[in-house]
Amino acid sequence: MGATLQALSRTGQKFEQFRVARIQAFRGLAQTDIDVALAGDIVSIAGMAKATVSDTLCALTVNEALEAQPIDPPTITITFGINDSPLAGREGKKVQSRVIRERLLKEAESNVAIRVSETNSGETFEVAGRGELQMGVLIENMRREGFELSISRPQVLFREDEMGNRLEPIEEVTIDVDEDYTGVIIEKLTGSRKGEIVDMRPAGIGKTRIIALVPSRGLIGYHGEFLTDTRGTGVLNRVFFEWSAYKGPIAGRRAGVLISMEDGISVAYALWNLEDRGRMFIGSQVQVYQGMIIGEHSRDNDLEVNPLKGKKLTNVRASGNDEAVRLTPYTQFSLEQAIAYVNDDELVEVTPQSVRLRKRYLDTHERKRMKKAC
């Protein structure tokens, strides 16, 4: 402790010189302060401001950096914002943008795979990372800590080359799957997801290994489909491969959504009548609000519906009018599925107890006005 060290990049370039202020080492399961670190110790060092993973810390007389693997660059970005829905603050305690900002910056200090940047509004923050599953882990940890958040659809990061051409991230996907499911996997990767198969070979008894190069855009929301297609038996691994030329548009969700037009408690009779319009995302006796997405429309346009409409009661008796209402089981999204499902004009409302889908603009007139402006 107290020694002066320098930090070298992977190319051997010096970019920081600092004095070691503190050293901690693992002793059993706990970290304790030590004065001298010996070879083989796993230690934490305080005092540096810029050095991070893959950099070399060494004496001032050393000019050659150690070999290190580069960190995969972020490929997607998600916007974290405050929960501004009518149900905000009912389930979580940490709802202010200041608290969310501090938590994200703290995460960025220990998780080198993500980057946090602030937006002009001051109430939203852009978090760049390696995939929606990594973002899902961060969001899940935050909701368990009592945070309430509004999460946008993942957006892929693009670059431009020297000629001004648009580049997008390509990932190398390695899949181990039963031979019976190779057909559907290849069809989905090489079809609408714009992937390219580079290798396919046997990987044991009844198993096949598929290696493909797929745009990061094509992998958003694919993990859930992959588990369904392989009956949960497939293994998928993905790593960043290169920046390549833009491969054209990739089709997203084609169906519209059913949007609640009222605030209140959903009624079974209303949902029963709405089942002809599409599949439901909520059950009866659920708190809903104007602008909340309660189901998927069977057509490609959004439809505003009233899930609070009860059955009209009269004094006239008629046979066959009092049949019991039997609702079809509704679709329940996981956090990762919800993030991949929403469109650009929609958000995922995340609280410690609930995951809801909603429109970015809750008022119907404001949605129409913003749609015309676009």
pLDDT, tens digit, for every residue of 242-275? 899 998 888 777 789 999 999 999 999 999 999 9
Give the residue ranges of DSSP H helices in 132-181: 132-144
CA distances from 72 to 69, 169, 214 (A): 9, 11, 16
Q: Which of 23-37, 207-221, 339-353 has the lowest mean pLDDT?
A: 23-37
- What are the structural domains of the chain? 4-58 (2.40.30.10), 76-156 (3.30.70.870), 171-245 (3.30.70.240), 257-373 (2.40.50.250)
pLDDT tens, residue by residue, 120-168: 887 899 999 988 888 889 999 999 999 999 999 999 999 888 888 999 9
Query: Encoding tokens for residue 177?
Result: 């799957």
Interatomic CA distance for residues 341 and 355, integer angstroms = 12
Interatomic CA distance for residues 60 and 58, integer angstroms = 7
CA distances from 259 to 15, 293, 340, 353 (A): 53, 5, 18, 21
pTM: 0.80
Query: Encoding tokens for residue 142?
Result: 């935050």
Interatomic CA distance for residues 138 and 253, integer angstroms = 25
